[in-house]
Amino acid sequence: MTVLNSGISWCTGTLNLTVGCTKVSAACDHCYAETLVNRGLHGSRDFAELRFFPQRLADLRKFAPAKGADGLVEPKMVFVNSLSDFWHEAIPDDFIEKALDAFEAHPSTIMQILTKRPVRMRKVIAARYGNRGVPANFWLGVSAEDNRVKGRLNILRRLKDQVGDFTAFCSVEPIVAPCDELDYAGLDWVLTGGESGPRCRPMEFSWLEQANEKAIEADIALHFKQFGAPRNNPLVVEMMRRSARGLSPTATLKMAVDLGAELAPHEKGGATYKGRVIQEKPPHWHKLKAELNSGRLVA
Ligand code: SF4
């Protein structure tokens, strides 16, 4: 399914060339893609059965740069396979190669390829781009939701060592355990957030601080997406502690929004971190925007 407005604040839209997946780590426990597939929205209720939609590559043209709120042309950011994993072992090599060919043919559209399977990503990208460099519109990322999977970041760094610079990012989502051992060296962008949904697990604020402060200190672009559940939001916790009204976390969050204390009502659980909303983009996005508006790169 191609979605131009996904509701995910760190992308402009999604492009699902495959749908379906299998679980690899704790972040997958409450996989939202599985929930959607189980509703039968994609022609199969078996999440483990991968379905292939190569025809959707034609939809890339829908993601042409367009004017943003400031009147300047902005590149679109396309999250590839939000309902699957682009580097899943069941996706044939030639399917991946054709997709990469198409991504290369759209240099003014940013392709965000995020995975929990970085070993295959490194193998394929190194073999294909080892001698010529990764196209600038490819943003390659790993999910490293907590200390238990910190090794994924080493694989991403090794890929940079092999093929040279590219926009490397990490999704520290959903944070459900300590993440103080994550090493952000070599990263250009960090995404963070808590889990949402009916069975969401709690995120301690100290874990979020571990994820956010390291990026802030290292001057790496940070996008804190959401607290996930209202009970993860310290504004809500503090207001509930002070109030004798016995309001629920959801009702308290609404009150925080009405009072102007929570500045990101559009995000699940809010996203005001220490008094501000931090939703930054990596350097390549700004560079590409400048190129588009200078006429150096044709949209
Ligand atoms: S890798 Fe992503 S899509 Fe696959 S099961 Fe895990 S969370 Fe879901």
> What pLDDT is stored for residue 42 in this prediction?
66
Instruction: Check if 85 has its Cβ closer than 6 Å to any atom of ligand 1.
Output: yes
Instruction: Check if 80 has its Cβ closer than 6 Å to any atom of ligand 1.
Output: no
Instruction: Check if 263 has its Cβ closer than 6 Å to any atom of ligand 1.
Output: no
Instruction: Check if 215 has its Cβ closer than 6 Å to any atom of ligand 1.
Output: no
pLDDT tens-place values along the chain, 299 residues long? 666 566 899 999 999 999 999 999 989 999 989 988 888 766 677 899 999 999 999 999 999 999 999 999 999 999 999 999 999 999 999 999 999 999 999 999 999 999 999 999 999 999 999 989 999 999 999 999 999 999 999 999 999 999 999 999 999 999 999 999 999 999 999 999 999 998 999 999 999 999 999 999 999 999 999 999 999 999 999 999 998 788 999 999 999 999 999 999 999 999 999 999 999 999 999 999 999 999 766 65
Instruction: Check if 62 has its Cβ closer than 6 Å to any atom of ligand 1.
Output: no
DSSP string for residues in 175-203? --S--TT---TT-SEEEEE---STTPPP-
Stated pTM of the model: 0.95
Which residue out of 1, 8, 18, 28 has the highest number of ligand 1 atoms within 8 Å of its CB and is therefore the one to mutate? 28
Instruction: Check if 24 has its Cβ closer than 6 Å to any atom of ligand 1.
Output: yes
Q: Assess contact for 73 and 290: CB atoms under 8 A.
A: no
User: Which amino acid residue places its CA nearest to atom 3 of ligand 1?
Assistant: 84
> What pLDDT is stored for residue 75 in this prediction?
97
Cα 271 to Cα 49: distance, rounded to the nearest angstrom? 35
Instruction: Check if 28 has its Cβ closer than 6 Å to any atom of ligand 1.
Output: yes
Domain ranges of the chain: 2-188+282-294
For residue 22, how far is its CA from the centre of ligand 1 (angstroms)? Answer: 6
For residue 162, how far is its CA from the centre of ligand 1 (angstroms)? Answer: 27
Which residue out of 17, 23, 38, 152 has the highest number of ligand 1 atoms within 8 Å of its CB and is therefore the one to mutate? 23
User: Which amino acid residue places its CA nearest to atom 4 of ligand 1?
Assistant: 21
Residue among 151, 267, 146 at smallest CA distance from 207: 146
Name every residue whose Cβ is closer than 8 Å to that of residue 95 and which is 6 or more positions away in sequence: 17, 18, 52, 54
> What pLDDT is stored for residue 126 in this prediction?
98
Residue among 239, 247, 243, 242 at smallest CA distance from 272: 239
Q: If you ran DSSP here, which 8-state letter would residue 133 be given?
A: -
Q: Which atom from ligand 1 is nearest to the alpha carbon of 115?
A: 1
Cα 209 to Cα 40: distance, rounded to the nearest angstrom? 38
User: Which amino acid residue places its CA nearest to atom 6 of ligand 1?
Assistant: 28
